[in-house]
C-alpha cells in the first residue's frame, strides 16, 4: 500500500514536494526515477517482502519498462509461477515485479489487467513505446487522479499531490459540486477541482509522451446483468467457496493484521472466516459514541466474544468534531459522510496494533442490503398500479403515524420531520424510477439545489440518470448505480483516505471481482426476496458461521449525532462559515435557503442537519483547498 506520483517532464524539486505531501501513504521508504520526459515517484508502506528488494520505481531487466504501483495483487504467486515457466527471472518476492513481467508477456495491457486479482492503481512507463499506462482496479478500491492539458500531464494517488504544482489553478468545478450536494460525495469523473479528473474504476488510460496527449481511455471490465439460473444451493456453495478464497488471499501479509467489526453479518462473516486461517485470536476493532442511542458496540462486543477475538473498543465523544478539518484535508474532495469521523479516529487507534485491516465494505451494494432497494421494489409492485389520489392517502397516513412505529421501519425516520414527509410525497407521486431513487438517497434534491445554488443549475439529475434504471432489472440497476457511485466515491474513498492517513492498508474481501460477478449473475429474488428479506443468499450462506441474532439482524445504519452537535459544538462554526456576509462574498450559495433551513431546523432536525453538515464540510474544504487557509473548530 503506497502513494504514487508521476508527470511528463523532469522536475526533481516538484517530485520531492509531492512525495513529502503524500508521505502518510508510505512512511517506510521512498523512491524516484527521472528521464528526459518523465518523473516518477513512490512512497512505500511495507506489507509484503519487507526487504529493500521491493523498492520502487521498479524496472524490468534492461530498464526499458518502469512501474510505480499502489495496492496488492492477491494472485501474484500463481501468476509468478506461470511466468517463471515461460523464462521470466525475478529479483524480488513482490507482487509489483509480477505486473512488469505479466505486461511483457501479454499482448496488451488489457490482457494483463484481466489476469490481476487485487486492488490497485499503477503506472507503467514503456520507454520504447514512449507511453504511460495508468490503470485502476475493477471496483475502485484504490484512488488515482490526473490533470492533463496540451503540454503537461500529472497524476497522483491524492489530489493534494497534484496541487503541489503551482501552475495548476485551484478553481471550483461547480458541475461536480452539484453531484456532491446530491449524493454527499461527487460521483462524476471530473473532480471538484477544475481540470483534475479521476481514473474511473475498471479503466486504463494511455498517455502518448511524444504527442503530449491522452491517446486512449479504455474500459477493461464492467458489470452485466446476464443471469444464471441454478438452485439456491448452487449459489450458496459458489459464494462460500469464493468468500473463503477471497479472505484467505487477503491475509497475505508480512505485518500484523486485524479487522473492523461492526457486529453485523458482513464484518462478522469476514472475521469468522479469518479464524479458519489464523492460529491466534484475530485483533478486532469497533467504535461507538458516548451519546445515548448512537452506540452499537454491544453488538460488536457480543460477536467478538462469540468469535473469541482479541477485541478493542474506542468510544468517542462530542469533541471528535474537532478533527473534521484534518479529515477533510485527507479526503481531497468534499464528502459529507459523517462516519468519516469515527473511521478516522478508529484508524488512528488501530495503528497501535495493526497495519492491515479487513472490512465488510461492498456487501450491501452487491447483495442488496440497503432500505432503498426495498422501497423501490414496494413502489414497483404495489404503489405504481395505484391512482394518484390513493397515493395521497398513503402520504397522509404516514403523517399521522406515531414516531415509534415510523422508527421501526427506518431508524430515526421520525426526526426527518416535515421535509421527510415531503420527500416521501415525491417518492409516492412519481412513476420515474430515477426520481423515486434520488428522492430517497439525495441530500439535496433537484428543487432544493435550484433554491440553494446562486449560479444557474446545469440540468436535471432526474433526467440525467433515468437510463441508469432498467425496469426489467430494477434491483440490479439500483445496485449497479450505488456500486459505481456511492460505494466508490464515499465508502471506498472514506476507507482509503482515513486508513492511509495513519499508514494502514484496508482490504475489502467482498469486492473480489469474482464475488461481484457472481452476485450480479444471481437472480434478484435470491438477493432481495419476495418478502423483502435483504442479502438473502449471503445470510443463508453464512448462517452456520455466526450466532442467529447476528445473521438475522436487520441492516442498521451507523448514525453520527450531528443533529445534536448543531446545538453545541457546531453552532459557532455554522454561524461563521454559513454567515450571510461570507455566503455573499463567496458567491456560490443563496443565503435565503440557508436562512430557511435555520428557521425550520426544529421541524425536520435530522433532514436539515444532513444538509447543514454537507454545507459546512464544503465550506471547510473550500477554505482549505481553494482559499488555502487553515481552519479550526
Q: Of the given ranges (380-394, 422-436, 537-551, 588-602), which has the lowest mean pLDDT?
A: 380-394
Looking at residue 589, the DSSP 8-state letter turns out to be: B
CA angle 111, 490, 485 (to 5 degrees): 55
Region of residue 339 (left: phi > 0; alpha: psi -120 to 50; beta: else): alpha
* Helix (H) or strand (E) run with residue 266 in it: helix 265-276
Q: Which residues contact 320 (CB under 8 A, 6 or more apart)?
A: 341, 342, 345
Angstrom distance (rounded) from CA 110 to CA 218: 9
pLDDT band at 430 (very low <50, low <70, confident <90, very high): very high
pLDDT band at 15 (very low <50, low <70, confident <90, very high): very high
pLDDT of residue 51: 67
pLDDT of residue 64: 94
Per-residue pLDDT of 459-504, as tens digits, reads: 789 999 999 999 999 999 999 999 999 999 999 999 999 999 999 9
Angstrom distance (rounded) from CA 489 to CA 368: 18
pLDDT band at 419 (very low <50, low <70, confident <90, very high): confident
- Secondary structure E strands in 422-567: 505-507
Mean pLDDT over 612-628 rounds to: 96
Per-residue pLDDT of 215-236, as tens digits, reads: 999 999 999 989 999 999 999 9
Per-residue pLDDT of 314-361, as tens digits, reads: 999 888 999 999 999 999 999 999 999 999 999 999 999 999 999 999
Per-residue pLDDT of 560-578, as tens digits, reads: 888 778 777 777 888 889 9
Mean pLDDT over 246-273 rounds to: 94
pTM attached to this predicted model: 0.94
Mean pLDDT over 5-9 rounds to: 97
pLDDT of residue 54: 76
- What percentage of the chain has pLDDT greater than the value 90? 78
pLDDT of residue 555: 67
Per-residue pLDDT of 356-410, as tens digits, reads: 999 999 999 999 999 999 999 999 999 999 988 888 777 777 665 545 555 555 5
* Helix (H) or strand (E) run with residue 40 in it: strand 38-44
Q: For the residues of 117-131, what is the DSSP string, one character each? A: -EEEEEEEEETTTTE
* Residue 595 pLDDT greater than 80, yes or no: yes
Mean pLDDT over 145-161 rounds to: 96
pLDDT of residue 296: 74
Mean pLDDT over 598-612 rounds to: 91
pLDDT of residue 417: 73
pLDDT of residue 263: 86
pLDDT of residue 403: 55
pLDDT of residue 459: 73
pLDDT band at 254 (very low <50, low <70, confident <90, very high): confident
Mean pLDDT over 171-186 rounds to: 96
pLDDT of residue 319: 86
From 2, 112, 123, 354, the catalytic residue: 2
pLDDT of residue 389: 83
Angstrom distance (rounded) from CA 24 to CA 501: 6
pLDDT band at 557 (very low <50, low <70, confident <90, very high): low
Instruction: Give the per-residue SS3 of 537-574.
Output: HHHHHHCCCCCHHHHCCCCCCCCCCHHHHCCCCCHHHH
Return the sign of the alpha-carbon dihedral for residues 483, 488, 490, 495.
Answer: positive
CA 160 vs CA 8, 84, 119: distances in Å: 18, 39, 21
CA 145 vs CA 117, 184, 214: distances in Å: 21, 19, 14
* Residue 202 pLDDT greater than 80, yes or no: yes
Per-residue pLDDT of 51-109, as tens digits, reads: 667 789 999 989 999 999 999 999 999 999 999 999 999 988 899 999 999 999 998 99
Active site residue 123: no
Per-residue pLDDT of 110-137, as tens digits, reads: 999 999 999 999 999 999 999 999 999 9
Q: Are strands 356-358 and 257-260 parallel, antiparallel or unpaired?
A: parallel
pLDDT of residue 186: 98
pLDDT of residue 411: 52
Angstrom distance (rounded) from CA 503 to CA 356: 9
Amino acid at each position: 500500500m503506497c502513494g504514487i506520483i508521476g508527470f511528463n517532464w523532469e522536475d526533481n524539486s516538484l517530485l520531492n514536494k509531492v512525495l513529502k505531501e503524500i508521505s502518510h501513504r508510505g512512511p517506510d521508504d521512498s523512491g524516484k526515477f527521472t528521464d528526459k520526459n518523465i518523473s516518477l515517484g513512490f512512497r512505500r508502506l511495507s506489507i509484503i517482502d519487507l526487504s529493500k528488494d521491493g523498492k520502487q520505481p521498479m524496472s524490468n531487466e534492461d530498464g526499458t519498462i518502469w512501474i510505480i504501483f499502489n495496492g496488492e495483487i492477491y494472485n501474484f504467486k500463481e501468476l509468478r509461477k506461470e511466468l517463471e515457466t515461460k523464462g521470466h527471472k525475478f529479483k524480488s518476492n513482490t507482487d509489483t515485479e509480477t505486473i512488469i513481467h505479466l505486461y511483457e508477456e501479454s499482448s496488451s495491457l488489457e490482457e494483463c489487467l484481466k489476469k490481476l486479482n487485487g486492488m490497485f492503481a499503477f503506472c507503467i512507463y514503456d520507454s520504447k513505446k514512449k507511453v504511460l499506462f495508468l490503470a485502476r482496479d475493477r471496483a475502485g478500491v484504490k484512488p488515482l487522479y490526473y490533470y492533463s492539458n496540451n503540454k503537461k500531464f500529472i497524476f497522483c494517488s491524492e489530489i493534494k499531490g497534484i496541487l503541489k504544482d503551482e501552475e495548476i489553478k485551484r478553481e471550483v468545478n461547480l458541475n461536480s459540486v452539484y453531484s456532491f450536494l446530491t449524493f454527499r460525495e461527487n460521483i462524476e469523473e471530473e473532480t471538484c477541482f477544475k481540470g483534475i479528473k479521476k481514473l474511473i474504476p475498471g479503466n486504463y488510460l494511455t498517455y502518448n509522451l511524444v504527442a503530449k496527449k491522452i491517446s486512449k481511455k479504455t474500459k477493461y471490465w464492467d458489470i452485466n446483468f446476464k443471469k444464471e439460473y441454478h438452485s439456491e444451493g448452487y449459489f450458496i456453495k459458489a459464494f462460500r467457496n469464493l468468500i473463503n478464497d477471497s479472505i484467505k488471499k487477503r491475509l497475505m501479509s508480512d505485518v500484523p493484521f486485524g479487522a473492523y467489526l461492526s457486529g453485523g453479518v458482513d464484518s462478522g462473516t469476514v472475521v469468522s472466516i479469518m479464524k479458519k486461517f489464523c492460529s491466534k485470536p484475530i485483533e478486532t476493532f469497533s467504535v461507538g459514541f458516548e451519546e445515548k442511542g448512537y452506540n452499537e458496540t454491544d453488538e460488536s462486543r457480543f460477536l467478538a466474544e462469540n468469535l473469541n477475538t482479541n477485541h478493542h473498543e474506542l468510544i468517542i465523544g462530542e469533541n471528535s468534531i474537532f478533527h473534521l478539518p484534518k479529515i477533510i484535508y485527507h479526503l481531497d474532495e468534499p464528502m459529507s459522510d459523517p462516519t468519516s469521523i469515527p473511521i478516522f479516529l478508529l484508524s488512528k487507534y488501530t495503528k497501535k496494533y495493526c497495519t492491515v485491516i479487513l472490512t465488510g465494505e461492498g456487501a450491501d451494494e452487491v447483495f442488496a442490503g440497503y432500505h432503498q432497494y426495498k422501497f423501490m421494489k414496494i413502489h414497483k409492485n404495489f404503489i405504481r398500479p395505484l391512482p394518484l389520489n390513493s397515493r395521497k392517502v398513503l402520504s397522509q397516513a404516514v403523517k399521522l403515524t406515531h414516531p415509534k412505529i415510523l422508527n421501526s421501519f427506518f431508524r430515526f425516520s421520525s426526526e426527518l420531520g416535515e421535509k421527510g414527509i415531503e420527500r416521501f410525497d415525491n417518492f409516492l407521486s412519481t412513476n420515474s424510477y430515477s426520481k423515486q431513487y434520488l428522492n430517497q438517497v439525495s441530500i439535496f434534491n433537484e428543487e432544493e439545489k435550484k433554491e440553494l445554488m446562486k449560479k444557474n443549475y446545469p440540468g436535471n439529475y432526474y433526467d440525467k440518470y433515468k437510463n441508469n434504471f432498467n425496469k426489467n432489472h430494477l434491483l440490479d440497476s439500483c445496485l449497479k448505480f450505488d456500486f459505481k457511485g456511492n460505494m466508490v466515491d464515499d465508502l471506498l474513498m472514506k476507507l482509503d483516505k482515513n486508513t492511509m492517513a495513519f499508514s494502514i492498508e484496508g482490504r475489502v474481501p467482498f469486492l473480489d471481482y469474482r464475488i461481484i460477478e457472481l452476485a450480479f449473475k444471481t437472480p434478484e429474488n435470491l438477493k432481495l426476496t419476495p418478502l423483502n428479506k435483504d442479502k438473502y443468499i449471503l445470510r443463508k450462506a453464512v448462517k452456520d458461521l455466526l450466532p442467529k441474532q447476528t445473521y438475522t439482524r436487520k441492516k442498521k445504519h451507523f448514525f453520527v449525532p450531528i443533529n445534536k452537535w448543531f446545538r453545541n459544538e457546531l453552532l459557532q462554526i455554522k454561524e461563521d462559515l454559513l454567515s450571510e456576509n461570507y455566503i455573499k462574498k463567496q458567491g456560490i450559495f443563496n443565503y435565503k435557503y440557508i436562512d430557511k433551513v435555520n428557521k425550520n431546523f426544529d421541524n425536520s432536525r435530522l433532514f436539515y442537519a444532513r444538509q447543514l453538515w454537507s454545507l459546512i464540510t464544503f465550506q471547510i474544504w473550500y477554505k482549505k483547498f481553494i482559499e488555502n487557509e487553515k481552519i479550526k473548530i
